Amino acid sequence: MKITTLLSLAFIYSVFPASSALDSVLDITGKNLHSGTNYYIMPAARGGGIILGPTGVNKTCPLGIAQLQTNKYGLPLTFTPVNPKKRIIRLSTDVNIKFSGHTNCNKSNIWKLKYDEVMRQYFVKVGGVEGNPGRETLDNWFKIEKAENGYKLVFCPTVCNFCKVLCRDVGIFVDDNGKRRLALSYVPFSVIFIAK
């Protein structure tokens, strides 16, 4: 009877891990990503970091988000989880992503998803709202997921229980001017995080 009970418990623990907490996201040194701390998002393979950039020819505002083509860090960012009391950023959890500093466009530095009618493409831009999870802020929430080599950014918000949402990876869209812009894609942009 004791052996049967022990085997049953071993099976239960193997199927249902003792800790249901999601794994934390790690920076390149293996430390947890923390809310409010500055990080650089860099490609896992090669290329430069993430910056604010114009959205088209002769347009300075609104600002989109682009990848540098050189091996420079780009601009530092912070992550804020859906529950602001949580300090550690966890996988598959809704977060706001925000550039540190100010823009010249009088908009917030918080990432949001915006559909471009001309390009027929969803792009990541700034001008979002920090916090306030719900239907009105649906476009401002992203997730970090594991990728083959590093992590990937995903748009699939769960801050609204009754909303129908589009779920897709954030990848790189190369426009006609050769600019590498962050956009929804079927090919994820694999990234790593470096503390500033």
Instruction: Give mean pLDDT, residues 77-88.
Output: 95
The band of 105, judged by pLDDT with boundaries at 50, 70 and 90, is confident
Pairwise CA distance, residues 58 & 55, whole Å = 9
Write the pLDDT tens digit of every residue in 24-48.
Answer: 999 999 999 999 999 999 999 888 9
- CATH classification code of 20-195: 2.80.10.50
Strand, helix or coil for residue 60:
strand
Q: How far is CA 71 from the centre of its chain?
A: 20
Whether the upstream peptide bond of residue 84 has omega within 30° of 0, thus cis, is no
Pairwise CA distance, residues 105 & 59, whole Å = 11
Residue 62 clears pLDDT 90, i.e. is over it: no
Instruction: Please tell me the pTM assigned to this model.
Output: 0.85
Q: Who wins on pLDDT, 96 or 63? A: 96
